[in-house]
Structures are given as structure tokens and as C-alpha cells.
Structure 1
Amino acid sequence: MTRIALAGIGKIARDQHVPHIAANPDFELVAAVTGHRPPEGVPGFRTVAEMMRAVPDVQAISICTPPRGRLALVEQAVAHGLDVMIEKPPAATLSEAQAIVRAVAGAGRVLHVTWHSREAAAVEPARAWLAGRNIRRVEVNWKEDVRVWHPGQAWIWEPGIGVFDPGINALSVITRILPRPLLMETAELRFPSNRDAPIAARLSFDSGGVPVAVEFDFDQRGPQSWDIDVETDDGHLQLSMGASKMAVDGVAQDVGDEAEYARLYRRFAECLSTRASDADLTPFAHVADAYLLGRRVEVGPFEE
């Protein structure tokens, strides 16, 4: 059993990480690095160094802090011999994410850069179904209400985040299920007049000659949309509910219902067992590409 700590005790840590660590027999949550209230029964500390002085047998850390400044936290962790799991997005910038990968590798530790939507139940069945088929087009509609998922969280509107916080989940799925790499062709980013990050985006990619059209929206009221449609020469694949559901030609497929974060921690346990990192930055690179190529369009102000 790996004695693990959590860094950053916010909504995602309390809703997903804490219960799934508790449910996984390969891990024991023994400490938290946080400026807030730690999980019940778990000692909290302000820094990694303080934690290691008090709980020196911590073996790994799962980082759930906002993305800015994670390199320093990772460097502290590996300096104390900890293996690292990191919540998406892995950093505030692509260069920082790449530095994180180098820092962990240089210290001889294990790194798991997580993409929780890749662990949705339908992702691997979709990848298998698409293998060997000729894909004609792909459409992605990933739309949700920021007020529901990030109420009052100012960090979500920091430069470089905004709609790409949920949008990167869609990118993590399509980069997993499609057999050829994605190359961004155009991007339009819609910025509220009073915010520093986009509230919506329209992206177009080419994947080996296949057009991939992507729509992100962080201001969708009512039912949320997390849908991917793939037309092939041998049927129509539909992923819905964040790739937890799958249909082929309108017929629902049995893909199971195991939770994403249960799979994430099982995968981290596998990485620790084999001492092999899993640190794919491809979805994050596409976000960076969107800012490099994106045409900025200003829209009305956003209000909570």
C-alpha cells in the first residue's frame, strides 16, 4: 500500500480524490498540503517540507492545486523522494508542464499526468471500435455552465484557462480515440469583455485528412453537452455524457460504469508498480496551439 498525500484541498479534491483514494486498497491518505481545512482525520500542513518532517513515510503526492506554480511544488516533492500524480491541466504553461516532466524524470521518480476524461467508460471501447475504420469527419460539442462547476472560483478566469478547463477534457478524449495525430488549422476564442480567459472557443483540426470540428462553451444553461460524433465508412459513433456513454448507429453499447477517478488511481498504482511514468502532454499542447493561432473575439461581460 502506498502512503499518499494530497496537495490542494478544493472542490475536485473533496469530491473526487478523497473518496476514490479511500476506496482503493492500493493507497492510504496520510497527509494533506493545504492552506484550507484538510480532509477529516488527515493532518494538514502548509508545505511539503513541513509535511515530510511530521510524516516522513509519505511515498507519493497527488497534486490538485490550481495550475499556476506547480513546478515549484513538484520540485519540492521529488526532492523529498515522492512520486507524483497531477490533476489536469498539469501547469499554467506548456513550458512549465515540460519542466515538470523533466524534473520528475531527473529525480528518478514516477509521474502520472492525469486526464480524467480519458478514463471515462466509453473511451477505450470507442478507440477499439474506430481502429481499422475509415473516419470521414468528427464533431465535438463540449458545453457546460461555469456557474455550476466552478462557482465563485476566480482562478478559472486566469489567462490561459477559462473554457479550456472543461475543453481540455474533450481534447484528451479525441487525442486518445482517433488513430492519427491532430493538427490545428484555425481557432476562434471568445473573451468576455471583463475577463482574461475565453468563455467559448471554436477550433478546427485536421487528422490525417479527416476534418475535426470542435465547439466549446462555458456559458451553457440547462442540460450540459459533452458529446463527440464520429462518422466512418462503417457506421456512426456517438459518445455522450463526457464519454461515459457510447452508441453505434443510434444503438447504445454496454461500456460499464466505473468512475473516472477510480480508474485514475488504479492507473497510478500500475505506474508505481512498474516504475513507469505516464506523462502525455498532447491535450495541453493543443490548448497552447489554440492561443497561438486563435483569433480573439470580444463578447459581452460575464457575470456570476
Structure 2
Amino acid sequence: MFRSTKECNIHPQNETIVARRNFFSRLAFGVAASIALPNVVQAAKNTAENTKINHQAAKKAVRLPKHTTQQANNASRIATSSSKKATSEQKHLNVSGADHPHAQHNNRVKTVYNSKTQVPPNKNHTQVENGRSHSIIQPRAKTSMSNSASNSVLQKDHVQLITQRSLAFQNPHTGDKLSLTYYEQGRYLDDALNEISFLLRDHHSGEVHPIDPELLDQLHEIKQMLGLKQPFDIVCGYRSPLTNAKLHAESVGVANNSFHIHGRAIDIRIERYSLSRIHNAALAMHRGGVGYYPESNFIHLDTGTFRNWTL
């Protein structure tokens, strides 16, 4: 009993001490938690926000908008197209330079037409008889246009693929008129050549002889140079040997062995065109024989070697 009383006296005191200790421990923990917890929460929030921002930035850096990609592609295509166009223009300039044969041909023709340079007569093919100069022409074997192209650059320019060639004639001696295409799709038309040969027949005897197609090409070239719309007036086309002999006896201007006998010469004039202008155009071709007859008012053309004279 004594022991129980003693224990009862001691127990309340111990409980008080323990309670106080527990109270202060909880108080200290609460204070520490209240101080540390807000910092921990804020740090967690900052970490989460930084992670989100970095993720969005990475998305923007990797993924481009559709319209930006299309603009880049269009810019690349435009640059490629411009490069190809520049290359093509450079090639064109190289082809169409001053060294091109056609450019040389045009410059030579312009020089003759503007009368800046006159082609002097070829004295080696002329002679003087009874106070008048004239040419004695020897016939030659007929050659093709492609073979005669070696004589000059202009001759080479003439031998080119022309889809169609047309001529118009009127013969004041017979009253015949003719306008037709004699060359088409790379070949001469036989029917057309026959009609031309008939129109250019010997009007003294009525004899018909084939006309050299190269002579027709010379007329066509003059037509192109002058931009002719009207026909060629025929002074003389084919001439039979008998007719030529009679004319030779009457005039010193008629060669004994004329190209007219072989169907390789023609004498022409053109209405409303001065003889000197036709003469300059014929000289500009730099092919065949070119005779200038101002007193008789006609130009002589033939398919011989290039030469010129005046009577």
C-alpha cells in the first residue's frame, strides 16, 4: 500500500514532463515544416514551368510552318529557272553574233544598197569595140547550186532550205503573164518549170528551151531583196542560135556564144523600179553575170561565174 501510494505520487509528475516534451517536439516540427514547405513547393512549380517552356521551344525549333516551307521551295524553283534562262540567252547571243554568215550577208547587202561601196567593173571580162565595152561570154558545164556555193559566202547563204519560192513574169513581146510557185518542199516543180520555159521562149522563132533553175533562184533572190510585188518584165529569155546570130550581126552588145542560147540568161526590167536599184541588188548577190544596159533600159543576168559590165 505504501508502494502504491508512492507510485501514485510520482506518476502525475512524469506524465506532465512527457506531455511537455511532446508538445515542444510537435511545436518545433510544425515551425520547421511551415518554414521549409513553401520553398519546396515553389521549387517544384519552377521546375515544372521550366520543363514546359523548354518543351515548347524544342517544338518550335524542329517544326516549320507549312507556308515557310512552300516559300523556300518556290524560291529554289525560281532560282533554277533564272539560271536556265540566262544560259539559253547566252547561247542565243553566241549564235547570232557578228561572225554569223547571215549577219555578214545582211551587212554586205546594206552596204551595196546604201551606195556606200560601189562594186568596180571587172576589167578582165570586158573589152572595147567601136568605142563601147562589152563582154564575151563562154558557156560552161551546168553545175548544181550546192557545187557553186564555194564561190562566196553569199552563195552559201543562198543554198538554204526554203519551203517555197514563187515568181511572176510578164512578156511584153507575146502578152503572156505568169505567176506561180516553182520550188516547194525541197524540190523544183517540173510543171512550173515547163510553163516558165514556154513564157521565156524565143519570141522571134517561137522555139522553147528549158530554163536553168539556178537563173530562177537569182530572180527570186532579187525579189526578196527588193520586196517585189509586181512581176518581172521580160526583155529577152531564151534565144535560138539563129536569132542570136542575127542580133550579133546587128549589135556589138550581143555575144557570139551567148548564155541566152543555153537557157541560162535573161534580160529584165521592173516597173516603177530604177535600173540602178535593180543593178545594185544584182551585184549584192555576188553570183552570176550582171550586165548593166542603161541605154536599152534592162539588166542582164546569167548563171556564169560572177562578173559585171556596162554597155
The structure whose RCO (Cα within 8 Å, separation 6+) is larger is 1
TM-score using structure 1 length? 0.23
TM-score using structure 2 length? 0.23
Higher strand share: 1
Higher helix share: 2
Larger radius of gyration between Structure 1 and Structure 2: 2
